Structure formats: structure tokens, C-alpha cells
């Protein structure tokens, strides 16, 4: 099948409205496809635009267009338009395949007659119950299960997620493609010592710090690294970057106060996109001890920046980090301390892991991602024709 004239549509809400996480994945996907298949036409259906600055590069190429609701009712009820209205617009736009980038498809996508692909990132809400309200878990179960069932093809972002889809939702393995996400090329740009020193000065960081990037919530398990500080040299600071869940943040604050670690933890809040690669590059190592992930892009970002990681066992993080990380059980403080001391005391080990990790993450590259995603689209289009 030729790809010269395909019109490919996306659920663009996350790309247009979210600055992190699923927003980054959505923008990465569209940018990768538009770059490697420039003759295709790409449409982003979104009820609103809240981060237009991050979309400028996507739209500048001329083959990516926004599609916003037009009627007053659709504008007012954007969620309903996204769920039910988009499929009615696909035929008018001559769309060949529609890709739900963030776990879901419109509920009536099958009636549109358009081939559909959905990316399922994880089923974390079925694994870490405490981080989700019961009503949200039921809603996600309904929407994501139905989307995976209705989709012509499913993209899982890791083998871990593929296994969960098969075991939890009984999705046919033949319709699931594992396509690893690459990280943004900005993380592969070699940071200079001067750039890292400048970031440390601006953020008030010491020469030796641990970078801990991710939303502060119980699943992300930042408390493990905080507890480990008592076994590490006094000059080592934990720099935590990301928004804070109120309750879990307060739990960490109480521990910090009780153990008098206030001068050892630096709360950075959300770090700007240009500063994030420098934060990784300037760290002695980074910490990502999440109890469960669908993939774990911060590991890849850190390794791409030349910095090894201490990560947790139990989900897919070994799959993402490979030899670029040391792995510990998510509640084993002593094991974390041992791993951290190995990295702090052995520059040669950091360099070795950085090199091995860099080779491992070569498979997480934009070219392979785009090629495999296009193959998934073409398969979905052919399969949808067979169903007619």
C-alpha cells in the first residue's frame, strides 16, 4: 500500500492541552510521522488548544492541521464532541485511519467505517488502586477495554502492557503491536559543563545531586529515595522535579521533618522543557523507582542525557533502561543505598553504564518508531477493508 496520499487523523486533545506525559507522547508521534512521511496529511482533532507554543513546530511543516469543533454546542461540550462527534467528521475529511493516542477511541468509532488504532500505555489503574478513585477505575476499565476491543489494531508501548492487555482484557495477541516510544532528540544533545553549572546555580543545586523526575504521587515512590538519603554522604541532595499530589507530598514532608532532611531535598516543581535535559545531564545519577509503569520514558531520557539510573523492579523498567540502570525492589531502602553508593563512588561504573545504556536505547529511535507505526496503520486499513 502506498502512503503518498493518506490522510491520518489523531485524537489531538493531549497534544494540544497537556505539557507532559501523554501530551509529549502525542506530539512525539505526530512529529515523527510528519517528518518521516511528509507527503501524508495529518489532522489533530481537539476540543481546545492550551499549549499552542508546543504545537508550533508541528504545525510549521504544513502537513499537520488542527481540527476544532465548529458548532456552538460542540464547542461548549468538548468532551461529548470528542467522544461522539469526531467520527462524523472523519468521512468528510477523507480519513484513512484514526489513531487514539491516549488509551481511548470515540465510543462510536466502529460506525464511522474508518480504520482505527489505539495506543494503550498501561493498565496501572488495575495495579495501583490507591492512586485512583473507584469511579475513575470503573470508567477507565470501561473506556479502555472497549477501545482496545473496538480498535482495528492496538499499539502497546511495551511488552509489559501487551501482556496486561492479553491477560486482563483478553485482547487478541495478533492485533497488538509493541512499538517502543523514542525520546525527544533534545535529550541526545551533549550538555556542556558550563550549561550544567549554570542550571545548578539557577536552581540552587549542589555539585552532587540525584535527579528525580516525575509527578510526586505514591505510585512514583519518591519516598524510597528520600529514605535512602540517610545512608548517603551529607553533600548529596535529592532534586525532585514535577507536580505534587497533595497527600503524598505531605507524607514525604512529614518524613523529611521527622528525620531532619530539609537541607537534603530540593523541591523544584515542574521544570521547563529546555532545562530538563540539563537537569539529567548534571546529576550523579537519576532516580526512578515507580512501582508500576507502562514504559518509563524518564529512564530513556536520563540515559540519553548520559546519566545512569537507579530504578525499581516489578513492571517494565528493566525493559526500558536495560544496562543503563541498577534495579532495586521498590521498598528496599538498603538496596537503594547500596546501588546509590556504587554510582557515587565509582565514576568508571557510571561511564560504563552510560555507554551500555546508550547502546540499549538505540532501539528507541524516531525512525523505527515511525516505520513501525506506519506499518500498523497500513495493516489496520487492510484489516478494516476485510471486515466490510
Whole-angstrom distance, CA of residue 358 vs CA of residue 315: 21
Q: What are phi and psi of 257, to 5 degrees?
A: -65, -45
The predicted structure's pLDDT at residue 52:
74
Whole-angstrom distance, CA of residue 154 vs CA of residue 147: 9
Whole-angstrom distance, CA of residue 247 vs CA of residue 258: 17
The predicted structure's pLDDT at residue 4:
64
47: its cell numbers: 476540543
Q: Are 376 and 117 in contact (CB under 8 A)?
A: yes
Whole-angstrom distance, CA of residue 100 vs CA of residue 117: 6
Catalogue all structural domains in the chain, each as residue range(s) with its CATH number. Answer: 7-182+365-387 (3.40.50.2000), 185-362 (3.40.50.2000)
Q: What are the residue ranges of helices labelled H in the chain?
A: 13-17, 22-36, 52-60, 72-76, 78-80, 86-92, 109-112, 134-150, 159-169, 193-203, 222-228, 246-258, 276-281, 297-304, 317-321, 333-345, 347-360, 366-387
If we measure between CA atoms, which residue out of 377, 189, 345, 386 comes closest to residue 278? 189
340: its cell numbers: 546509590
Whole-angstrom distance, CA of residue 42 vs CA of residue 196: 37
Q: Are 34 and 64 in contact (CB under 8 A)?
A: yes
If we measure between CA atoms, which residue out of 167, 182, 172, 174 comes closest to residue 370? 182
Whole-angstrom distance, CA of residue 373 vs CA of residue 377: 6
The predicted structure's pLDDT at residue 55:
84
The predicted structure's pLDDT at residue 385:
81
The predicted structure's pLDDT at residue 57:
83
Whole-angstrom distance, CA of residue 274 vs CA of residue 283: 16
Whole-angstrom distance, CA of residue 275 vs CA of residue 204: 14
Whole-angstrom distance, CA of residue 347 vs CA of residue 267: 26
pLDDT tens digits in sequence order for the chain, 388 residues long: 666 689 999 999 999 898 888 998 999 999 999 999 999 999 999 999 988 777 888 888 889 999 999 888 888 888 888 888 898 889 889 999 999 999 999 988 998 999 999 999 999 999 988 889 999 999 999 999 999 999 999 999 999 999 999 999 999 999 999 999 888 889 999 999 999 999 999 999 999 999 999 999 999 999 999 999 999 999 999 999 999 999 999 999 999 999 999 999 999 999 998 999 999 999 999 999 999 998 999 999 999 999 999 999 988 999 999 999 999 999 999 999 999 999 999 999 999 999 999 999 998 999 999 999 999 999 999 998 865 5
Q: Are 66 and 48 in contact (CB under 8 A)?
A: no
Most distant CA pair in the chain: distance in Å? 67
Q: Give the DSSP letter string of 243-277.
A: -B-HHHHHHHHHHHHHTT-TTTEEEEESPPTTTHH
The predicted structure's pLDDT at residue 1:
60
The predicted structure's pLDDT at residue 280:
98
Amino acid at each position: 500500500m502506498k502512503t503518498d496520499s493518506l490522510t491520518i487523523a489523531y485524537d489531538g486533545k493531549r497534544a494540544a492541552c497537556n505539557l507532559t506525559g501523554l501530551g509529549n507522547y502525542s506530539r512525539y508521534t505526530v512529529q515523527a510521522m510528519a517528518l518521516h512521511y511528509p507527503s501524508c496529511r495529518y489532522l489533530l482533532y481537539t476540543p481546545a488548544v492550551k499549549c499552542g507554543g508546543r504545537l508550533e513546530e508541528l504545525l510549521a511543516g504544513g502537513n499537520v492541521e488542527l481540527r476544532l469543533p465548529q458548532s456552538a454546542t460542540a464547542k461548549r461540550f468538548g468532551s461529548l464532541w470528542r467522544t461522539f462527534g469526531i467520527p462524523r467528521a472523519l468521512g468528510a475529511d477523507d480519513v484513512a485511519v484514526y489513531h487514539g493516542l491516549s488509551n481511548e477511541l470515540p465510543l462510536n468509532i466502529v460506525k464511522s467505517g474508518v480504520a482505527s488504532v489505539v495506543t494503550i500505555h498501561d493498565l496501572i489503574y488495575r495495579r495501583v488502586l490507591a492512586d485512583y478513585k473507584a469511579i475513575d477505575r470503573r470508567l477507565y476499565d470501561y473506556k479502555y477495554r472497549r477501545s482496545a476491543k473496538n480498535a482495528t489494531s492496538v499499539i502497546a508501548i511495551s511488552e509489559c502492557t501487551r501482556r496486561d492487555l492479553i491477560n486482563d482484557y483478553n485482547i487478541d495477541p495478533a492485533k497488538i503491536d509493541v512499538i517502543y516510544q523514542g525520546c525527544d532528540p533534545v535529550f541526545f544533545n551533549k550538555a556542556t559543563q558550563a550549561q550544567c553549572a549554570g542550571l545548578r546555580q539557577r536552581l540552587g543545586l549542589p555539585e552532587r545531586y540525584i535527579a528525580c523526575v516525575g509527578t510526586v504521587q505514591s505510585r512514583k515512590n519518591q519516598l524510597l529515595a528520600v529514605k535512602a538519603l540517610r545512608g548517603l554522604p551529607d553533600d548529596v541532595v535529592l532534586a525532585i522535579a514535577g507536580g505534587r499530589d497533595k497527600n503524598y507530598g505531605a507524607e514525604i514532608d512529614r518524613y523529611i521533618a521527622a528525620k531532619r532532611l530539609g537541607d537534603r531535598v530540593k523541591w523544584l516543581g515542574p521544570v521547563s522543557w529546555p532545562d530538563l535535559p540539563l537537569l539529567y545531564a548534571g546529576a550523579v545519577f537519576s532516580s526512578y523507582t515507580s512501582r508500576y509503569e507502562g514504559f518509563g520514558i524518564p529512564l530513556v531520557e536520563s540515559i540519553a542525557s548520559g546519566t545512569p539510573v537507579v530504578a525499581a523492579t516489578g513492571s517494565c523498567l528493566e525493559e526500558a533502561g536495560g544496562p543503563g540502570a541498577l534495579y532495586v525492589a521498590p521498598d528496599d531502602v538498603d538496596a537503594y543505598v547500596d546501588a546509590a553508593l556504587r554510582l557515587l563512588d565509582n565514576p568508571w561504573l557510571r561511564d560504563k553504564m552510560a555507554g551500555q545504556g546508550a547502546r540499549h536505547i538505540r532501539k528507541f529511535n524516531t525512525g523505527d518508531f515511525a516505520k513501525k507505526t506506519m506499518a500498523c496503520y497500513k495493516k489496520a486499513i487492510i484489516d478494516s477493508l476485510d471486515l466490510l
